[in-house]
Every structure is written in structure tokens, then in C-alpha cells.
């Protein structure tokens, strides 16, 4: 996976099916921006055949008698290259986060752990995930981006993460809607952004992906 990167979280919006993946693939090829998709578990195998894909979550479990669980090995078998962990809409205890990171390492998956505060960033970075995604929950799904509303939390998260390990990539999410939001995030030191409704619920999804992807090139 290359950086800077754009993660698109499909959540379970009705619009978030194969056509979005086809559009994202075309935009990635045209712009050279690294785009990773996070589809519903049900569609992970299908979408992973089109674009690099993360699961939206995994359980802190190994193989065994766990009805309904999604485990790291199954994500890998479906073609996923990583997973989100601890999204603001699917929060889990710190100990479970640590186990999920360990399970990802064992299965050969990338871990992208969401954090709501700078304190959580520090706690989680000490578990050495591959990526941390800072997203204040009050801004998730809103119209004001974290890079605009709370720029200091982004720059502080970058500083905290890099002090622990230069190998941890820092992304920011929550309210990212356009290229200006992305440009600001990169200026603050982020290695990429996570977007959901800003793309999936946009009137013109292709135009929205193009616009957000262009924010990366605005740095040059």
C-alpha cells in the first residue's frame, strides 16, 4: 500500500456496491492516487477483486466456535489486504484493539485503527498498528472536516505517532468532503484521509472521488 492514500468506507449505504468500485478504479488509474475501499463484509470478496480492499472490522478472535464472527484469516482468504479497527460506529475496548492488531500481524493484514482523541492515539500507537485514523466522533458524517474544525488534533496526532514509531502512518477522517479538506490534512502531516458519506452519498460519486483525489496533487 502506498501513501498518501484515500480510504473510502462504504459502510452499508445502498449506493455502495460494485459501481463505486469500478469508478474508484478508473479514478485511481487516471490520477495515480492510492485508493483503498472498505466494503461491507458481505461484498468484500467481490470488491477485493476490483480494488485493494479492507474489511470494515474484525473480531479479536482466532479460528473456532464463534458464530457470526469475522476473523483476520477470513478477511485474508477473501482477498482483503487489511481492516479497519475501532471505527467510531463500532468501538471496542483497548484490550480487544490490541488483540485485533496482533491477529492482523499473524494473518498478514494491515491494521488501520480509529482513534477519537489524542490520548487514544498515544495508547493505540504503543500497540504498533500499521495505521491510525484520527476521527473525532462528533464530526463523523458532518459537513465540517476534522482538518478544518480541529486542525490541532491532526498535527498533534502525527507528532505523537511519529514519536513512537516512524512506521505508523496517520490518516484523518470525519467530515472530509473536498480537495481543500485533503490539502489541509496533508499540510498538517497526515499520510492520507478516510472518507465515507462525502463520496458515497454525493450526487455525483465519480466527480466526488476526482475532487478529493485532486487534493493530494495540490501539494505538488
Q: With H, G, I as helix, E, B as strand and everything else as coil, classify residue 108.
A: coil
Phi, psi dihedral angles at 213 (to 5 degrees): -60, -35
175: left (phi over 0), alpha (psi -120 to 50) or beta: left
Q: Which of 66, 87, 118, 120 is catalytic?
A: 87
Q: Whole-angstrom Cα distance, residue 73 to residue 175?
A: 32
> Is the CB of residue 45 less than 8 Å from the CB of residue 81?
no
Contacts with 58 (C-beta within 8 Å, 6 or more apart), sequence order: 70, 71, 72, 75, 83, 85, 100, 103, 104
Q: Which of 34, 122, 135, 210 is catalytic?
A: 135
Residue 135 falls in the annotated catalytic set: yes
Residue 73 falls in the annotated catalytic set: no
Q: Are strands 169-172 and 34-38 parallel, antiparallel or unpaired?
A: unpaired
Catalytic residues: 87, 135
Amino acid at each position: 500500500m502506498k501513501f498518501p492514500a484515500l480510504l473510502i468506507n462504504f459502510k452499508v449505504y445502498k449506493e455502495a456496491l460494485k459501481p463505486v468500485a469500478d469508478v474508484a478504479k478508473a479514478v485511481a488509474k487516471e490520477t495515480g492516487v492510492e485508493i483503498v475501499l472498505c466494503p461491507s463484509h458481505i461484498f468484500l470478496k467481490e470488491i477485493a477483486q476490483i480494488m485493494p480492499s479492507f474489511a470494515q472490522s474484525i473480531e479479536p478472535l482466532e479460528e473456532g466456535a464463534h458464530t457470526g464472527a469475522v476473523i483476520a484469516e477470513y478477511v485474508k482468504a477473501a482477498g482483503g489486504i487489511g481492516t479497519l479497527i475501532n471505527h467510531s460506529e463500532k468501538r471496542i475496548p483497548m484490550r480487544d484493539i490490541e488483540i485485533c492488531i496482533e491477529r492482523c500481524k499473524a494473518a498478514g493484514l494491515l491494521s488501520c485503527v480509529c482513534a477519537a482523541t489524542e490520548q487514544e492515539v498515544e495508547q493505540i500507537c504503543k500497540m504498533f498498528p500499521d495505521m491510525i485514523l484520527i476521527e473525532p466522533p462528533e464530526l463523523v458524517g458532518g459537513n465540517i472536516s476534522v482538518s478544518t474544525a480541529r486542525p490541532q488534533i491532526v498535527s498533534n496526532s502525527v507528532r505523537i505517532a511519529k514519536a513512537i514509531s516512524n512506521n505508523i502512518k496517520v490518516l484523518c477522517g470525519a467530515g472530509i468532503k473536498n480537495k481543500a479538506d485533503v490539502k489541509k490534512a496533508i499540510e498538517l502531516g497526515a499520510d492520507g484521509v478516510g472518507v465515507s458519506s462525502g463520496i458515497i452519498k454525493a450526487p455525483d460519486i465519480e466527480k466526488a472521488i476526482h475532487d478529493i483525489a485532486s487534493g493530494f496533487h495540490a501539494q505538488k
